[in-house]
């Protein structure tokens, strides 16, 4: 008997877990074939209650598959076992010990992991300061005290790399009382930490490693991709299947192994945050993607890697464009790189990444994954092919010609790595929920921030509630905003003011 507690229905005759099954998809199919009808939500009754204009845009099939989860397919605490079977198949497919699905993205899964490892108020967690804003939101909700671990900052490229194992060791020596370490790998730029070495350091201190692997759902399915967190010895990792896999938006999986994290606690923490009406479409797409990856992942991702490599070479040959690779990978930078993330430096064109992203959207109807003061990022997936790659290449070629007519990019005054490390004066929760006031930007230095301010993408907060603002960071935000930086979570859209602790 394997360690996966799958129902006998998804084992083949010799007791082996049958990865060709997709229990949630099968249950969804059976629900419709059996002509079941629910006098329960969702009130649209498989689409019968929506108007044609809505149906035309969204599609009748989407409504037909949107069923009451608790009555039909979600049996987390109820009948059938479809969901737990699908989760066990997922765990087995990627060689984790346990997996559970979430319908609220890695934003939920990572908060559940933080709560399960460090508890509520008074808990402490080591966290790399290049954390995503959903992690900072977790700090605000939970009242946990972050003990920040320094990422590696490339002063020339103005880019952060995951922390080194040595930096992690230093953090544990300084704060051995913390309950665990949370790192982000891959970063939104596709760069990866040395997870194995970092996990070893954590385990030496008897503490678990949580990896926010939102950008790494595909990693287990091809050996030329960076090592995925469970293989590298992490205790918990969360992935967003909609990012690098083929799930619906919000489909996320939390994987667990080892005995440093209490699984039922983790599941209960997720339950605290989860909706009671999970979307069956999201669950079922996770189930179908897992089967697809088990059966064809190597081939599909191999083709995507070939495409990305050839696209990287072609873009690199365009005048003014530099595809980043070697400069991201060296002793003092990242440990590994996901080549499907094609990060393109456009600074030789004399324009900013923001301007390029705007031009591509407006003139070629192409959206890129990320843009900053000097780069744009194109993410290649298993769905891309020669045609989509050519579309991007043609658009970049045209962009190269058009760039000469752009206005000079707004100057962004970049802080030094030291200036970016703001002093921590209060718990994020106390600063966020305490007595606050809004002050004009030039009065903000020296005050304690009461909001998070995040350039998005990539979604790494420059300011976390509880940190003392300084001149350099305020100037960075002011000049960045003027140059096209998107700051969606600032209380004042125009960023004329910042919320601070009164
Ligand atoms: C590093 C990182 N972690 C977590 C998240 C949140 O993931 P989701 O959008 O699935 O909630 C993101 C989203 O971009 C991310 O980049």
User: What is the number of the ligand 1 atom nearest to the C-alpha of 242?
Assistant: 10
Is 203 in the same domain as 317? no
Tens digits of residue pLDDT in 112-162: 999 999 997 789 999 999 999 999 999 999 999 999 999 999 988 888 999
Q: 116 with 163, same domain?
A: yes
Ligand 1: atom nearest CA of 457 is 14
Count of domains for the chain:
3
Domain assignment present for 1: no
Which of 405, 429, 457 marks a domain boundary? Answer: 405
Q: Please tell me the distance between residue 77's alpha carbon and the centre of ligand 1 in angstroms.
A: 28
Say whether both 399 and 422 belong to one domain: no
Distance 103 CA to ligand 1 centre (A): 13
pLDDT of residue 13: 59
Domain boundary among 293, 327, 358: 293
Q: What is the CA radius of gyration of the chain?
A: 23
Q: Tell me: the pLDDT tens digits for 82-119?
A: 888 999 999 999 999 999 999 999 999 999 999 999 99
Cβ(452)–Cβ(475) below 8 Å: no
CATH of the domain at 389: 3.90.1150.10
Q: Which atom of ligand 1 is nearest to the CA of 187?
A: 1
* Residue 240 resides in a domain: yes
Within this chain, do residues 275 and 227 fall inside the same structural domain, yes or no? Answer: yes
Q: List Cβ neighbours of 6 (8 Å cut-off, separation of 6 or more).
A: 17, 85, 88, 89, 92
Q: Are residues 357 and 467 in the same domain?
A: no
What range does the domain containing 341 cover?
298-405
CB 211 within 8 A of CB 183: yes
> Is residue 184 in contact with ligand 1, taking CB distance under 6 Å?
yes
* CATH code: domain of residue 439: 3.90.100.10
The model's pTM: 0.95
Based on the domain organization, do 423 and 363 belong to the same domain? no
Q: Is there an atom of ligand 1 within 6 Å of 102 CB? A: no
Angstrom distances, CA of residue 435 to CA of 230, 431, 449, 450, 451: 42, 8, 11, 9, 12
Interval 52-76 mean pLDDT: 79
Q: From the CA of 155, how far away is ligand 1's center (Å)?
A: 25
The minimum-distance atom of ligand 1 relative to the CA of 188 is 16
Ligand 1 atom nearest 458 alpha carbon: 16
| Domain C-terminal end among 359, 378, 405 | 405
Choose which residue among 213, 240, 242, 455 to substitute to test ligand 1 binding: the one with the highest number of ligand atoms within 8 A of its C-beta. 240
Q: Tell me the best of 187, 459, 489 to mutate to test the pocket of ligand 1, counting ligand atoms within 8 Å of each CB and taking the most.
A: 459
pLDDT at 55 over 60: yes
Quick check: 321 and 340 in contact, CB under 8 A? no
Position 441 in a domain: yes
- 394 C-alpha to ligand 1 centroid (Å): 30
Are 254 and 392 contained in the same domain?
Answer: no
Residue nearest to atom 9 of ligand 1 (CA): 105
Q: Which atom of ligand 1 is nearest to the CA of 212?
A: 3
Decide if 410 is inside a domain. Answer: no
Could you read off the pLDDT of 226-282 as tens digits, one per residue?
999 999 999 999 999 999 999 999 999 999 999 999 999 999 999 999 998 889 899
Buried b / exposed e across 106-132, counting CB within 10 Å, b at 16+?
Answer: bbbbbbbbbbbbbbeeebbbbbbbbbb
Query: What's residue 64's pLDDT?
Result: 87
């Amino acid at each position: 008997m394997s360690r996966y507690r799958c129902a006998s229905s998804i084992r083949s005759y010799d007791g082996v877990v049958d990865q060709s099954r997709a229990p949630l998809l099968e249950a969804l199919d059976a629900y419709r074939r059996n002509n079941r009808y629910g006098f329960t939500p969702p009130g649209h009754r498989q689409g019968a209650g929506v108007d044609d204009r809505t149906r035309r845009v969204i599609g009748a099939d989407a409504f037909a598959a949107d069923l009451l989860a608790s009555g039909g397919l979600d049996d987390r605490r109820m009948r059938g076992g479809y969901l737990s079977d699908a989760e066990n198949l997922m765990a087995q497919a990627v060689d984790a010990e346990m997996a559970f699905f979430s319908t609220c993205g890695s934003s939920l899964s990572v908060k559940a992991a933080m709560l399960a490892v460090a508890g509520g108020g008074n808990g402490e967690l080591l966290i790399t300061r290049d954390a995503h804003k959903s992690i900072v939101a977790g700090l605000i909700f939970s009242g946990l005290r972050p003990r920040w671990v320094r990422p590696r900052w490339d002063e020339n490229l103005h880019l952060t790399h995951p922390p080194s194992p040595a930096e992690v060791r230093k953090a544990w020596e300084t704060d051995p009382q913390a309950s665990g370490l949370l790192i982000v790998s891959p970063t939104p730029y596709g760069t990866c930490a040395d997870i194995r070495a970092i996990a070893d350091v954590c385990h030496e201190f008897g503490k678990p490693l949580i990896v926010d692997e939102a950008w790494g759902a595909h990693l287990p399915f091809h050996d030329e991709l960076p090592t995925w967190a469970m293989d590298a010895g992490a205790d918990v990792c969360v992935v967003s299947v909609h990012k690098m896999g083929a799930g619906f938006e919000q489909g996320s999986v939390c994987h667990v192994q080892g005995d440093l994290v209490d699984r039922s606690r983790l599941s209960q923490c997720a339950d605290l945050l989860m909706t009671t009406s999970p979307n069956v479409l999201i669950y079922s797409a996770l189930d179908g993607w897992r089967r697809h990856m088990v059966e064809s992942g190597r081939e599909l991702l191999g083709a995507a890697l070939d495409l990305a490599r050839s696209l990287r070479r072609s873009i690199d040959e365009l005048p003014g464009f530099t595809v980043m690779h070697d400069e991201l990978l060296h002793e003092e930078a990242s440990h590994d790189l996901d080549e499907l993330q094609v990060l393109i430096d456009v600074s030789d064109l004399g324009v900013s990444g923001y301007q390029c992203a705007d031009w591509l959207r407006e003139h070629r109807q192409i959206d890129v994954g990320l843009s900053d003061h000097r780069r744009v990022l194109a993410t290649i997936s298993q769905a891309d092919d020669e045609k989509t790659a050519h579309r991007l290449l043609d658009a970049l070629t045209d962009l190269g010609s058009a760039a000469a007519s752009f206005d000079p990019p707004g100057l962004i005054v970049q802080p030094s790595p030291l200036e970016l490390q703001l002093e921590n004066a209060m718990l994020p929760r106390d600063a966020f929920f305490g007595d606050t006031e809004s002050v004009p930007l030039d009065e903000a230095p020296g005050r304690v921030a009461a909001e998070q301010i995040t350039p998005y993408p990539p979604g790494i907060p420059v300011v976390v509630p509880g940190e003392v603002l300084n001149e350099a960071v305020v100037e960075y935000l002011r000049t960045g905003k003027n140059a096209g930086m998107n700051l969606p979570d600032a209380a004042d859209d125009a960023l004329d003011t910042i919320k601070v602790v009164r």
